[in-house]
Amino acid sequence: MFLLKLLGILFGLFLLYVLFLLICSLFINPKKEYENHSRFYRTLLNGATAFAMKIMRIRIHTSGLEKVPQNTRNLLFVSNHRSNFDPIITWHIFKKWQPAFVSKASNFKIPIFGRFIRKCCFMAIDRENPRNALKTMLKAAELLKKGEVSICIYPEGTRSKECKLLPFHNGVFKTAQKANADIVVLAVSGTEQIHKNYPFQHTDVYLDVLEVIPAETVKATKTDALGERIRTDLENHLLKAQEV
């Protein structure tokens, strides 16, 4: 009986927590792109994410975090993309830098989370309209310049269902050039197993910082050359990880 009561109390608290998040989300305009980062909604997002990590039984292993500059948010994070969980893992690990993703529009329709990320300066990109996409990248550069948030972009443009690197859209690196920002190169693996393992097994996820390309080097290098350098780093790292 005691155990049943305890479970009932915990379930009730969980429902109250979800209700609280839902009520907070109702104060957000789901169609507006915000230019000022909300510390309140970022705190709610981080808390809900940490809770989700526990529920989903995700164990995150990191390396190279010491390479990331500590006293600035003028950083462009770029990574390979394997799973819908990749952004969640990334903003959880790098919450200190208040990362905002350039993301597909459908992610902003996710209940509660979709509204929270709006208030954290996440931006929807129109993949079908190059002119609108360019406007989004310019806005991302402005946010970087102001130090409002750091920016996260997937150069592949979409997730790779076969876990092989897709062709890069090298134009995304212009965001760092315009903002005079460092580029932080990340490699993610294991996230593609989360939906297969849950709820019966935990999932080990690996997030590695491969290198940080200084703003001066980014500015002086053509975007195609940046893309080739970053893609080579990612390919080599991911191949070695598969062999382990």
pLDDT at 244 over 70: no
Q: What is the reported pLDDT for 9?
A: 87
How many CB atoms sit inside 10 A of residue 188's CB? Answer: 24
How are strands ordered across the β-sheet holding 99-104?
58-63, 203-213, 182-189, 75-79, 150-153, 99-104, 123-125
pTM above 0.85, yes or no: yes
The answer to whether 45 touches 117, Cβ cutoff 8 Å, is yes
Please give the C-alpha separations between residue 211 and each of 62, 118, 165, 182, in angstroms, as whole numbers.
14, 29, 18, 10
Residue 121 falls in which region: left (phi positive, over 0), alpha (psi -120 to 50) or beta = left
Q: What pLDDT digit, counting tens, does each position of 155-190 carry? A: 999 999 888 999 999 999 999 999 999 999 999 999
CATH 3.40.1130.10 fits 2-243, yes or no: yes
CA max distance for the chain? 69
Q: Which of 91, 112, 93, 113 is nearest to 101 (CA)?
A: 91
The answer to whether 150 touches 73, Cβ cutoff 8 Å, is yes
Domain boundaries, the chain: 2-243
Name the CA radius of gyration of the chain, rounded: 19
pLDDT at 14 over 70: yes
Q: What pLDDT digit, counting tens, does each position of 49-75 carry? A: 999 999 999 999 999 999 999 999 999
Backbone angles phi and psi of 183, in degrees to 5 = -110, 125
Cα–Cα distance between 131 and 104 in angstroms, integer? 15
Q: Kindly state the average pLDDT of the residues 88-92.
A: 96
Q: What is the mean pLDDT of the chain?
A: 94
Q: What is the reported pLDDT for 131?
A: 87
